Amino acid sequence: MRQTISSVADVKQMIESGRKLLLAGDEDALRHLPKGDWIAGTIPYFISADKGGMVSRDMICATDITDIVASIDIVAYDDNSLARLYAEGPKHGFSFIIIPAASKTHMSFALNAPNYKDFGVRPLIGWVAGVHLSDLGKKTPKVVNGQTGDMLEEGALVLQAQLPEGKVAEIGIVNLFEQGDGDILTFNADGFAAKDVMVNGEKRNFAAYIVKNKLDTKLPLVADYYGAMVNISFQDVDEVEGQVKFYAPVFSGIRYKHARPVADYVKVFNDRLSKECSIESSRVAFSCNCILNYLYSELEGKKTEPFTGPVTFGEIAYELLNQTLVYLEIMDV
């Protein structure tokens, strides 16, 4: 297993023996780690191979990439320099990014990534760091540069991994949601919040529309990007202010629909894997799942084989995603 849920002592041992690691854990646990070749983000929610979904402030999710990479570099970006992210990615390898939730860099990446130079040309995968849900508003999500010891609540950390000859990185997305049969929804501006929505071309207040039509906000809006389904998850519906907030931005000119309901997450997930994915667990180098899937589908104690890893405040597969599972495969050319 490349992804394990390990004690601080075991992760210390990995670092001190020179392993190259992608880490996820509670802030207090990460502060106990020595310097080395690793990057980390804060989150205490994981999917483990043996226990399934779990919460732990003491354990750390460790993804060991030592044996699959030729070399690594760790680069820090801010909301301005992040525009160079794709262009500076390794020509033969992949980039792995962690961004703190609700930071300026998170907002900038979410809104602007598709317009950055060389967007999508080289593999980029990663996630958005968060906190225990009981710490919302009390603690800030952070990322950690293991080589320097820097713990940042603003900016992004990217591990640029060169692969050996004969190996190639592939990024996959498992999205259980698809467009429902309801109204076509469009927006006049890009952003993480909206007051107005065009419903089949007719202007309406979005919060009032959601309440009147009893839309289940556990189900995201879904856009069809040339055959790829992209979710926009709801954060808050304020009927008094007439405003709706999202966990990822909506974009003007994109046609959205409310998602079709998913009755049994684990069953549908397994069905989707068996139908669409010929995935060998030995090829999966990293995966992460969304905190909203974890909560709404009650994944605590449930396994999502062959996928383990952190449960995140957002997934990144080339761009910011919501309510998905993303994974990295290392394959022979």
**CA 103 to CA 53: how far, in whole Å?**
27
CA geometry: angle at 67 spanning 63 and 70, to 5°?
Answer: 110
Edge-first strand order for the sheet with 315-317 is 71-77, 156-162, 93-100, 124-129, 315-317, 319-321
Residue 42, token pair as written in the block = 């804060």
Residue 239, token pair as written in the block = 């009927």
> How many C-beta atoms lie closer than 10 Å to residue 227's C-beta?
5
Distances (CA, A) of 4 to 43, 49, 271, 306: 15, 8, 25, 13
Q: Around 258, how many Cα atoms within 13 Å sit in the side-chain half-sphere?
A: 18
> How many C-beta atoms lie closer than 10 Å to residue 240's C-beta?
6
Q: Around 95, how many Cα atoms within 13 Å sit in the side-chain half-sphere?
A: 28
Residue 129, token pair as written in the block = 């760091």
Pairing status of strand 71-77 against strand 228-232: unpaired
Q: Which pLDDT belongs to residue 268? A: 84
Q: Which pLDDT belongs to residue 301? A: 94
Q: What is the mean pLDDT of each run of 10 residues along the chain (333 residues)?
A: 90 98 98 98 96 96 97 96 96 97 95 94 97 95 98 98 96 93 96 97 98 96 87 96 95 95 82 65 89 91 89 96 94 89
**CA 204 to CA 186: how far, in whole Å?**
11
Who contacts 4 (Cβ-Cβ below 8 Å, separation ≥6)? 49, 61, 62, 64
Find how far residue 178's CA is from the centre of its chain: 18
Eight-class DSSP state of 273: H
Eight-class DSSP state of 110: H
Amino acid at 245: K
**CA 221 to CA 38: how far, in whole Å?**
35
Q: Which pLDDT belongs to residue 274? A: 66
Q: Which pLDDT belongs to residue 90? A: 96
Amino acid at 2: R
Find how far residue 87's CA is from the centre of its chain: 21
Distances (CA, A) of 318 to 89, 116, 223: 12, 11, 16
The SS3 call for residue 130 is coil
Predicted model pTM: 0.94
Which is nearest to 258 in space by CA: 293, 213, 301?
A: 213
Q: Which bin fits 16, alpha (ψ -120 to 50), beta or left (φ > 0)?
A: alpha
Residue 147, token pair as written in the block = 């080589």
Q: Which pLDDT belongs to residue 275? A: 63
